[in-house]
Chain A
Amino acid sequence: MADSVVMGSGSFNSGSRSGSSKTSTSPTENYQLARRRTLQVVVSSLLTECGFESAEKVAVETLTEMMQSYITEVGRCAKATCEHTARSTPTLSDVVVTLVEMGFNVDTLPVYAKRSQRMVITAPPVTNAPVVPKALMAGQKRTHPSYIPGHFPEFPDPHTYIKTPTFREPVSDYQVVREKAASQRRDVERALTRFMAKTGETQSLFKDDISAFPLISAKPSAIPYLSALLPSELELQSLEETDSSEQDDQTDTENNPSHIIQDDQSADKENVVLPPGGVVPTGKANEENMIDNPYLRPVKKPKVRRKK
Chain B
Amino acid sequence: MLSYKQNPDPSGLHSRRCMNRKKDKGFEICINNINFQRKSVIGYVELTIFPTVMNLNRIKLNSKQCRIYRVRVNDLEAPFIYNDPTLEVCHHESKQRNLNYFSSAYTAAVSAVDPDAGNGELSIKVPSELWKQGDEMKVMKVYIEFSLDQPKGGLHFVVPDVDGSMAERAAHVFSFGNQNSTRFWFPCVDSYSELCTWKLEFTVDASMVAVSCGDLVETVYTHDMRKKTFHYMLPIPTAAPNISLAVGPFEILVDPYMHEVTHFCLPQLLPLLKQTMSYLHEIFEFYEEILTCRYPYSCFKTVFVDEAYVQVSSYASMSIFSTNLLHSGMIIDQTPVTRRCLAQALAQQFFGCFISRMSWSDEWVLKGISGYIYGLYLKKTFGVNEYRHWIKEELDKIVEYELKMGGVLLHPTFSGGKEKDNPTPHLHFSIRHPHTLSWEYYKMFQCKAHLVMRLIENRISMEFMLQVFNKLLSLASTASSQKYQSHMWSQMLVSTSGFLKSISNVSGKDIGPLIKQWVDQSGVVKFFGSFAFNRKRNVLELEIRQDYTSSGTQKYVGPIKVTVQELDGSFNHTLQIEENSLKHDIPCHSKSRRNKKKKIPLMNGEEVDMDLSAMDADSPLLWIRIDPDMSILRKVEFEQADFMWQYQLRFERDVVAQEEAISALEIFPTPASRLALTDILEQDQCFYKVRIQACFCLAKIANSMMSTWTGPPAMKSLFTRMFCCKSCPNIVKTNNFINFQSYFLQKTMPVAMALLRDVQNLCPKEVLNFILDLIKYNDNRKNKFSDNYYRAELIDALTNSLTPAISINNEVRTVDNLNTDVRLILEEITRFLNMEKLLPSYRNTITVSCLRAIRMLQKNGHIPSDPSLFKSYAQYGHFVDVRIAALEAVIDYTRVDRSSSELQWLLDLVQNDPVHYIRHEILSMLAKNPPFTKAADSLLCNEALVDQLWKLMNSGTCHDWRLRCDAVNLYYTLFGLTRPSCLPLPELGLVLNLKEKKAVLNPTIKSEQGPGGPEVTTTMCTVIFFDFCQFPTQEEEDIDMDTVHDSQAFIYHHLNMLERPSTPGKEPSSVEQAMLSMPGTPMPTLSKESTSSKHGDHHHHHHHHEHKKKKKKHKHKHKHKHKHESKDKDRDSHAFSNSPASGRSIRSPSLSD
| Chain A interface residues (CB < 8 Å from chain B) | 174-175, 178-179, 181-183, 186, 189-190, 192-193, 196-197, 203, 205-209, 212-232, 234-235, 238-239, 241-243, 247, 259, 262-263, 265-266, 269-270, 272-275, 278, 285, 291-297, 299-303, 306-307
A98 smallest CB distance to B (angstroms): 53
Q: Mark B862-885, 1 if CB is under 8 A from A, else 0.
A: 011010110011011111110000
**Is B594 in the interface zone, CB < 8 Å from A?**
no
Contacts of A213 in B (CB 8 A): 815, 826-827, 830
Contacts of B812 in A (CB 8 A): 208
**Is B860 in the interface zone, CB < 8 Å from A?**
no
Size category, B interface:
35 or more
Contacts of A216 in B (CB 8 A): 833-834, 837
Contacts of A207 in B (CB 8 A): 864, 866
Instruction: Give Cα A192 to B835, complex, Å.
Output: 8
Pairwise interchain contact A175-B728, C-beta atoms closer than 8 A: yes
Instruction: Give Cα A238 to B299, complex, Å.
Output: 39
Instruction: Give Cα A271 to B842, complex, Å.
Output: 41
Pairwise interchain contact A206-B221, C-beta atoms closer than 8 A: no
**14 pairs of residues in contact across A and B, judged by CB atoms under 8 Å:** A182-B776, A193-B835, A203-B869, A221-B878, A222-B169, A225-B324, A229-B326, A230-B328, A231-B328, A243-B784, A262-B256, A262-B281, A295-B254, A301-B221
Contacts of B854 in A (CB 8 A): 205
Given A262-B258, A269-B260; A209-B815 close (CB under 8 Å): yes
Pairwise interchain contact B254-A293, C-beta atoms closer than 8 A: yes
Interface of B, helix, strand, loop or mixed by DSSP: loop
Given A221-B877, A293-B260; A231-B842 close (CB under 8 Å): yes
Pairwise interchain contact A307-B223, C-beta atoms closer than 8 A: yes
Contact of A174 among B262, B306, B728, B881 (CB under 8 A): B728
Instruction: Give Cα A3 to B163, complex, Å.
Output: 49
- Report B244-284 residues with CB < 8 Å from chain A CB: 252, 254, 256-260, 262, 266, 268-269, 272, 281
Contacts of A270 in B (CB 8 A): 259-260
Contacts of A299 in B (CB 8 A): 206, 219-221, 228
Contacts of A181 in B (CB 8 A): 779
Contacts of B259 in A (CB 8 A): 266, 270, 285, 291-293
Pairwise interchain contact B228-A273, C-beta atoms closer than 8 A: no
Instruction: Give Cα A34 to B717, complex, Å.
Output: 78
Instruction: Give Cα A91 to B868, complex, Å.
Output: 71
**Is B667 in the interface zone, CB < 8 Å from A?**
no
Instruction: Give Cα A241 to B298, complex, Å.
Output: 43
**Is B838 in the interface zone, CB < 8 Å from A?**
yes
Contact of B209 among A178, A241, A274, A295 (CB under 8 A): A295
B535 smallest CB distance to A (angstroms): 59
- Report B752-784 residues with CB < 8 Å from chain A CB: 776-777, 779-784
Contacts of A197 in B (CB 8 A): 834
**Is B725 in the interface zone, CB < 8 Å from A?**
yes
Chain A residue at minimum C-beta to C-beta distance from B869: A203
Pairwise interchain contact B776-A294, C-beta atoms closer than 8 A: no
Instruction: Give Cα A297 to B780, complex, Å.
Output: 44
Given A205-B863, A206-B814, A228-B844; A193-B260 close (CB under 8 Å): no
Given A222-B162, A232-B839, A273-B298; A215-B834 close (CB under 8 Å): yes
8 closest Cβ pairs, A-B complex: A220-B877, A193-B834, A294-B216, A262-B257, A222-B160, A228-B879, A175-B728, A212-B815
Contacts of B878 in A (CB 8 A): 218, 220-221, 224
Pairwise interchain contact A278-B830, C-beta atoms closer than 8 A: no
Instruction: Give Cα A217 to B199, complex, Å.
Output: 50
**A-B contacts at CB below 8 angstroms, number:** 218
B166 smallest CB distance to A (angstroms): 13
Q: Mark B100-126, 1 if CB is under 8 A from A, else 0.
A: 000000000000000000000000000
Known: A266-B260, A278-B298, A306-B223. 4 other contacts (CB 8 A): A174-B728, A175-B727, A266-B257, A294-B299
A219 smallest CB distance to B (angstroms): 8
Q: Mark B819-846, 1 if CB is under 8 A from A, else 0.
A: 0000000110011011101111011100
B329 smallest CB distance to A (angstroms): 8
Contacts of A295 in B (CB 8 A): 209, 216, 252, 254, 262
Instruction: Give Cα A233 to B296, complex, Å.
Output: 42
**Is B330 in the interface zone, CB < 8 Å from A?**
yes
Pairwise interchain contact A302-B222, C-beta atoms closer than 8 A: yes
Q: Mark B193-221, 1 if CB is under 8 A from A, else 0.
A: 00000000000001001000001111111
Chain B residue at minimum C-beta to C-beta distance from A246: B784
Instruction: Give Cα A190 to B832, complex, Å.
Output: 9
Given A190-B831, A230-B268; A223-B728 close (CB under 8 Å): no
Chain A residue at minimum C-beta to C-beta distance from B843: A228
Instruction: Give Cα A266 to B838, complex, Å.
Output: 44
Contacts of A215 in B (CB 8 A): 830, 833-834, 869
Contacts of B388 in A (CB 8 A): none
Contacts of A301 in B (CB 8 A): 220-221
B778 smallest CB distance to A (angstroms): 8
Instruction: Give Cα A124 to B736, complex, Å.
Output: 80
Contacts of A306 in B (CB 8 A): 223
Contacts of A293 in B (CB 8 A): 254, 259-260, 262
Contact of B815 among A208, A241, A242, A292 (CB under 8 A): A208
Contacts of A296 in B (CB 8 A): 252, 254
**Is B1153 in the interface zone, CB < 8 Å from A?**
no
Contacts of B254 in A (CB 8 A): 291, 293, 295-296
Contact of A232 among B170, B209, B840, B875 (CB under 8 A): B840
Contacts of A300 in B (CB 8 A): 218-221
Contact of B875 among A208, A218, A235 (CB under 8 A): A218
**Is B7 in the interface zone, CB < 8 Å from A?**
no
Instruction: Give Cα A191 to B862, complex, Å.
Output: 25
Pairwise interchain contact B324-A229, C-beta atoms closer than 8 A: yes
Instruction: Give Cα A306 to B877, complex, Å.
Output: 44
Contacts of B834 in A (CB 8 A): 193, 196-197, 214-216
**Is B996 in the interface zone, CB < 8 Å from A?**
no
Contact of A178 among B779, B826, B835 (CB under 8 A): B779
Given A269-B260, A270-B260; A186-B776 close (CB under 8 Å): yes
Instruction: Give Cα A182 to B269, complex, Å.
Output: 33
Pairwise interchain contact A272-B877, C-beta atoms closer than 8 A: no
Instruction: Give Cα A213 to B833, complex, Å.
Output: 11
Instruction: Give Cα A224 to B222, complex, Å.
Output: 34
Pairwise interchain contact B330-A239, C-beta atoms closer than 8 A: yes
B740 smallest CB distance to A (angstroms): 16
Pairwise interchain contact B258-A193, C-beta atoms closer than 8 A: no
Pairwise interchain contact B835-A189, C-beta atoms closer than 8 A: yes
B532 smallest CB distance to A (angstroms): 57
Contacts of B1035 in A (CB 8 A): none
**Is B294 in the interface zone, CB < 8 Å from A?**
yes
Instruction: Give Cα A294 to B252, complex, Å.
Output: 11
Pairwise interchain contact B864-A205, C-beta atoms closer than 8 A: yes
Contacts of B256 in A (CB 8 A): 259, 262
Instruction: Give Cα A292 to B259, complex, Å.
Output: 7
Chain A residue at minimum C-beta to C-beta distance from B881: A228
A162 smallest CB distance to B (angstroms): 37
Pairwise interchain contact A193-B160, C-beta atoms closer than 8 A: no
**Is B161 in the interface zone, CB < 8 Å from A?**
yes
**Is B1045 in the interface zone, CB < 8 Å from A?**
no
Contacts of A285 in B (CB 8 A): 259
**Is B323 in the interface zone, CB < 8 Å from A?**
yes
Pairwise interchain contact A223-B162, C-beta atoms closer than 8 A: yes
Instruction: Give Cα A291 to B258, complex, Å.
Output: 10
Pairwise interchain contact B221-A229, C-beta atoms closer than 8 A: no
B1015 smallest CB distance to A (angstroms): 68
Chain A residue at minimum C-beta to C-beta distance from B725: A174
Pairwise interchain contact A222-B815, C-beta atoms closer than 8 A: no
Contacts of A303 in B (CB 8 A): 220
Contacts of B857 in A (CB 8 A): 205
Given A193-B834, A295-B209; A229-B269 close (CB under 8 Å): yes
Contacts of A263 in B (CB 8 A): 257
**Is B42 in the interface zone, CB < 8 Å from A?**
no
Pairwise interchain contact A302-B223, C-beta atoms closer than 8 A: yes
